[in-house]
């Protein structure tokens, strides 16, 4: 079933600057081949439930397997009958905003 998740995977207790570790996580997500989009706080990933959750696991373990305590914050939207939710949600929101302006 198609699933859209927003996930933040970050190391804990490794210092003030986390960009190197976060880059490792994002690389794993991007190399998965699933549609994804990274913002300053979260990365969205879309695909079948099992595929998306495997990517979350792989991205988490890239740090955890190095002995780094890793925090995961995840929000999932499972909406039967819908796909391309990552873009579709924004398109529907923009349409509503334009309609309200009129």
Q: What is the pLDDT of residues 17-35, one digit of tens each?
A: 889 999 999 999 999 999 9
Q: Terminal CA-to-CA distance of the chain, rounded, Å? A: 37
Place of tokens 């890793």: 70
**What CA–CA distance (Å, rounded) separates 91 from 70?**
34
Backbone angles phi, psi at 35, to 5 degrees: -60, 135
Assessment of whether the complete model's pTM goes beyond 0.85 = yes
Which structure tokens are listed for 22? Answer: 């976060």
The domains located in the chain, with CATH, are 2-101 (3.30.70.930)
Q: Give pLDDT tens digits for 61-88.
A: 999 999 999 999 999 999 999 899 999 9
């Amino acid at each position: 079933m198609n699933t859209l998740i927003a996930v933040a995977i970050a190391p804990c207790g490794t210092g003030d600057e986390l960009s190197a570790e976060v880059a490792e996580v994002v690389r794993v997500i991007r190399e998965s081949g699933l549609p994804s989009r990274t913002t300053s706080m979260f990365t969205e990933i879309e695909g079948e439930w099992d595929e998306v959750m495997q990517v979350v696991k792989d991205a988490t373990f890239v740090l955890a397997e190095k002995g780094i305590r890793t925090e995961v914050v995840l929000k999932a939207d499972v909406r039967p009958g819908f796909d391309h939710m990552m873009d579709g949600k924004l398109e529907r929101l923009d349409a509503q905003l334009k309609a309200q302006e009129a």
